[in-house]
Amino acid sequence: MLLLNPGPVSLSERVRSSLLRPDLCHREPEFFDLQDAAREGLLAVYGVAASDWAPVLITGSGTAAVESMVAALVPADGRLLVVENGVYGERIAQMAKQYRIDHEVVQHDWLCAPDFNAILARLDHAQPRFTQLAVVHHETTTGRLNELAGLAQACLERGVGMLVDAVSSFGAEAIDFAHPGLSAVAGTANKCLHGVPGVAFVLARQRALEQAASRAYYLDLARLARLQAQRNTPFTPAVQAYYALVEGLDELRDEGGWQARHARYTALARQVAEGFAALGIVPVLPAAQSSVVLRAYRLPAKVAYPQLHDALKTAGFVIYAGQGGLSAEIFRIATMGRVQAADIERLVRAVAQRVA
């Protein structure tokens, strides 16, 4: 079965085999060597310096990392502006509400790009002023890649720290860690890094961690950061998932880094789009506004998602439904994980049989 959903991904044999390494107690030095390798490997993906950025591992799914970031990096007396143009932006707003963080949401239609002027207006005119802004990099709901550079600059100019959910872009899309407007980035092992579910992470500016709040217990980011920097851990980590993360990071490096992965995903996404175009299946967004990681397509007339899904599953592919109000209109194809051009050829043939 080939997974074309946005994580977990189809594993390479190299990563799958890494799961069979020796059992480890997480209080032994061998585990801390593994933890250090994962932390160093995460910094290396974008060439980030440990003097500026702390890599913090969290046992949990991507949402755990986003929640840990949001709960900690809006200081106790801070205010958060959430940019929402999909399910994952909405999730950040729900976290802020749950933790009783003073926040406001700039809402968008889920098919729209963030409205830069509307965001600036809130940053400039809201009272009291916002201290942080949270945004999803790749909004997996629609495949839209939200542009970060302009927002980061606007944040920098106003002394606002930018928190980014990069769960479905870290490892495959450009992220400018050198930009001083960027405060933290949350990611996960089982999307573009091609690991297994169970470990997620936040890269946080050391400066932002110094002002962190402690609203959560298990997800307390500053505590996790402090202990991990001391070769320690507060709880039992997902040891085997760490093995796979480190192997996935090594594999990414050996294959040419995030830029090579970006190029590979780009080619696969283009192949899907061209194959579908020949069948009259059109993308929801222009390629220039989409990530290379996942693209959303309009369901062809007279084809219901459940039937398309089931037919493709019989042919060996798992595709992904639209979420929320988009579930009757769209379907999604992710090209992360061990996916080859030949797989996409077979996919397009299988779809052709279904929509003909």
Question: Which residues lie near ligand PLP (CB under 6 A)?
Answer: 6-7, 61-63, 66, 88, 136, 138, 140, 165, 167-168, 188
Quick one: 6 or 171, whose CB is closer to ligand PLP? 6
Minimum Å gap between C-beta 70 and ligand PLP is 11
Quick one: 81 or 350, whose CB is closer to ligand PLP? 81
**Residues in CB range of 304: below 8 A, 6 or more apart:** none
Minimum Å gap between C-beta 321 and ligand PLP is 14
Minimum Å gap between C-beta 89 and ligand PLP is 9
Minimum Å gap between C-beta 166 and ligand PLP is 8
Minimum Å gap between C-beta 150 and ligand PLP is 19
Minimum Å gap between C-beta 162 and ligand PLP is 15
Quick one: 7 or 322, whose CB is closer to ligand PLP? 7
Measured between alpha carbons, how far is 270 from 262 in angstroms, rounded to an integer? Answer: 12
Q: What angle do CA 100, 125, 212 make, to 5 degrees?
A: 35
Quick one: 73 or 167, whose CB is closer to ligand PLP? 167
Minimum Å gap between C-beta 61 and ligand PLP is 3
Q: What are the tokens at 71? A: 């709960």
| CB-nearest residue to ligand PLP | 62
Measured between alpha carbons, how far is 244 from 19 in angstroms, rounded to an integer? Answer: 6
Minimum Å gap between C-beta 136 and ligand PLP is 5
Minimum Å gap between C-beta 188 and ligand PLP is 5
Quick one: 90 or 351, whose CB is closer to ligand PLP? 90
Contact predicate 202/64, CB 8 Å: no
What is the enclosing helix (H) or strand (E) of 210? helix 206-210
For 25, counting Cβ atoms within 10 Å of its Cβ (0-12 exposed, 13-18 middle, 19+ buried), the class is exposed
Measured between alpha carbons, how far is 80 from 162 in angstroms, rounded to an integer? Answer: 10
Quick one: 7 or 195, whose CB is closer to ligand PLP? 7
- Chain position carrying tokens 């500016």: 205
Measured from the Cβ of residue 185, the count of other Cβ atoms closer than 10 Å reads 28
Measured between alpha carbons, how far is 311 from 300 in angstroms, rounded to an integer? Answer: 15
Sign of the Cα torsion 254, 249, 267, 312 reads: positive
Quick one: 68 or 350, whose CB is closer to ligand PLP? 68
- Chain position carrying tokens 């609203």: 215
For 28, counting Cβ atoms within 10 Å of its Cβ (0-12 exposed, 13-18 middle, 19+ buried), the class is exposed
Measured between alpha carbons, how far is 26 from 146 in angstroms, rounded to an integer? Answer: 38
Quick one: 62 or 248, whose CB is closer to ligand PLP? 62
- Chain position carrying tokens 């542009």: 147
What is the enclosing helix (H) or strand (E) of 250? helix 239-254
Q: What are the tokens at 24? A: 């480890």
Quick one: 119 or 172, whose CB is closer to ligand PLP? 172
